[in-house]
Structure 1
Amino acid sequence: MNTDDLIAQLSEDVPPVRRGAVGLRLVLGILLGALVSGTALVLVLGIRPDLGLAMRGPAFWMKWGYTFSLALAAIVMTVQLARPDSARLRWTWLLAVPVVLLGGLGVAELARTPPGLWLAMWLGHSWMICPWLVLALAMPIFIGLLWSFRRLAPTRLRAAGAAAGLAAGAFAATVYCMHCPEVSAIFVLTWYSLGILLAASIGALLGPRLLRW
């Protein structure tokens, strides 16, 4: 039997994969993990008491818009890397858009703030714990994505792990917005992003071991 005949025989009676099945499975893993992260946030950290009032102002939506748009860009990358034909990634430049926009807001924020207040604005009240809380909240979402990958076929395991960690970190930061009272763009750009990058680094480290199939 030659190779073409073998391939034809193996492909007989193989049901077609539904369009969008990869994305749907990854989103399901994210939602399951986000449910756990959200429950942990409510039970352990608590929702900020002025959340309703905060949602009427621009600072909350600045944070939420940054983390959520970064999460969407990361999940686009994760969907591509979950397939075996992921040699060329498309739309990765979308990851830079929220970072550049928030950086611009941070520069404008610094320009209208006296230099003596820059350090306090940068550090806020929770810079020491913010990245670690984002990382902790990212772990259930990362586990949910690992569950999703069990039915998928990634070939670039380190890149896929990093993308999954990035998506988990960004979605975790979105959940964390319901607790965090910090309002500075430069704070969010630094410390939220650090927590997200820590999650992406752990994903890159574990990807070759946990995503092997």
Structure 2
Amino acid sequence: MMKTEQLIDSLSQNVSRVPRHAVPRRIAVGLAAGGLVAMLLIAVTLGIRPDLSLAMHGFSFWMKWTYTLSLALGASYAIIRLARPAPASLQGLWPLAAPVLVLVGIGVGELARTPSSEWLAMWLGRSWTSCPWIVLTLAAPIFAGLLWSFRKLAPAHLRASGAIAGLSAGAWAATIYCLHCPEVSAIFVLTWYTLGIALAAGLGALLGPRLLRW
């Protein structure tokens, strides 16, 4: 009868070495492919804002981009950790709250400088009814790219991996959406951008156990 050690030795023979950065490289390919599709969707359907070069000299554009990009990078790092078939603590995700807290501070300062009669208009902007749904739609191809990445990986926490993949897809989608969105209020971004990102994360949590099973 074969002993456990002998079984392990037989299974480990002729196993090719996995490159050190294989996981982040595959995740990056999936994100890049999905992001390219999302950018094409923006360019074809909504269009890049015509004053983009001028907007990039203002605070509001970089406020939005810093917020969404920091969430996207943090979530992408978490995906790399969760994509391996090893126990991974979710406690390391707490830095993702930092961009939200910073934007809350900016929003409070913004409200303090604005007459209360203008708060509702600042909060709703001109596109509050469509913004979250556009972000969610743009997140779909990015999430699909991440699903392709996971096909050769082995996540152990399927629901958490799905949620973080959705969060990453939503945050990257919001980053791309900044190329079109003319809204300038921090409180608008905090509410409606975050809602779109949260919807993508929630959908990812629902689909994770089904689509990430291996």
Q: TM-score, normalised by structure 2?
A: 0.97
Q: Deviations over 1:1-31 (max 9, x none)?
A: 1112111110112122211211111111000
Residues of 2 paired with 1:115 and 1:31: CA distance?
42
Indicate if the aligned counterparts of 2:133 and 2:196 stay in contact, CA closer than 8 A.
yes
SS at match of 1:182: coil
Q: Counterparts of 1:28-67 in structure 2 under 5 Å?
A: 28-67=29-68
Structure 2 counterpart of 1:159 = 160
Gaps of 5+ in 2: none
Indicate if the aligned counterparts of 1:80 and 1:89 stay in contact, CA closer than 8 A.
no
User: Segments of 4+ in structure 1 off by > 2 A?
Assistant: none
Indicate if the aligned counterparts of 1:123 and 1:187 stay in contact, CA closer than 8 A.
yes
Structure 2 counterpart of 1:135 = 136
Residues of 1 paired with 2:189 and 2:87: CA distance?
31
2:205 corresponds to 1:210: no
Q: Quick one: which amino acid aligns to residue 134 of structure 2?
A: L
Q: Quick one: which amino acid aligns to residue 149 of structure 1?
A: F
Q: Counterparts of 1:113-152 in structure 2 under 5 Å?
A: 113-152=114-153
Q: Quick one: which amino acid aligns to residue 145 of structure 2?
A: G
Residues of 2 paired with 1:103 and 1:65: CA distance?
13
Q: Which moved more, 1:90-99 or 1:173-182?
A: 90-99
Residues of 1 paired with 2:19 and 2:87: CA distance?
18
Q: TM-score, normalised by structure 1?
A: 0.98
Shift of residue 87, structure 1, vs aligned partner = 3.3
Considering only aligned residues, what root-mean-square deviation do their CA atoms show, in Å?
Answer: 0.9
Indicate if the aligned counterparts of 1:33 and 1:142 stay in contact, CA closer than 8 A.
yes
Structure 2 counterpart of 1:15 = 16
Structure 1 counterpart of 2:179 = 178
Gaps of 5+ in 1: none
2:103 corresponds to 1:99: no
Instruction: Give me the identity figure in percent.
Output: 64
Residues of 1 paired with 2:164 and 2:69: CA distance?
15
